[in-house]
Amino acid sequence: MKLIILACLACVSLAAPQFPNPIAITRDDRIDNGDGSFSYAFEAENGIAAQATGVRGFQGQSNIEGSYRFPLNDGSGFVEVRYVADENGFRAESPFLPTPHPTPAHVIELLRIAEEQRAAGITFE
C-alpha cells in the first residue's frame, strides 16, 4: 500500500507543469482615447515586439497601422511584419510571407484563348 501511495505521489510531482524562466516585458505602452483611436507598443527581452496605432474610420471602424516581430528559431535574426487594416481589408508586408506561385505559361495561353472565344460569342453548355 505504501508503494502505491509513493508511486502516486511520484506521478503527481512529475505531472506538475514545468515553467521555463519567464521572459521579462521591457516595454508596455498603451493609450486608448475612447473614440476609436489608440496606440500601443509592447516589447519583451527576447526581442518579441508589437506596435500599432489606430484612428477612427469613416464607417465607424478603427483603421490600424502597425507591425510585429519575433526571433527566428535558429537565432539568425527576426521576422518583421508590417500591416494595415482599414476599409480596404488587411494587408501585410514581409519578405517572410508566402507569395503565390506564378501562373504557368500554358494557363495564360488557355485564358487568352477563352477570352477570344467569349469575344467571338462562342459559348459552351
What residue segments make up the domains of the chain, in order of their start?
Answer: 23-119
With beta carbons less than 8 A apart as the criterion, state whether 87 and 59 touch: yes
Range in 4-13, 74-83, 108-117 with the lowest mean pLDDT:
4-13
Given a cut of 70, whether residue 8 has pLDDT beyond it is no
Overall pTM surpassing 0.85 (yes/no): no
Using only the alpha carbons of the chain, give its radius of gyration. Answer: 27
- In whole angstroms, what is the distance from residue 123 CA to residue 119 CA? 10
Given a cut of 90, whether residue 11 has pLDDT beyond it is no
What is the mean predicted confidence (pLDDT) over 22-26? 91
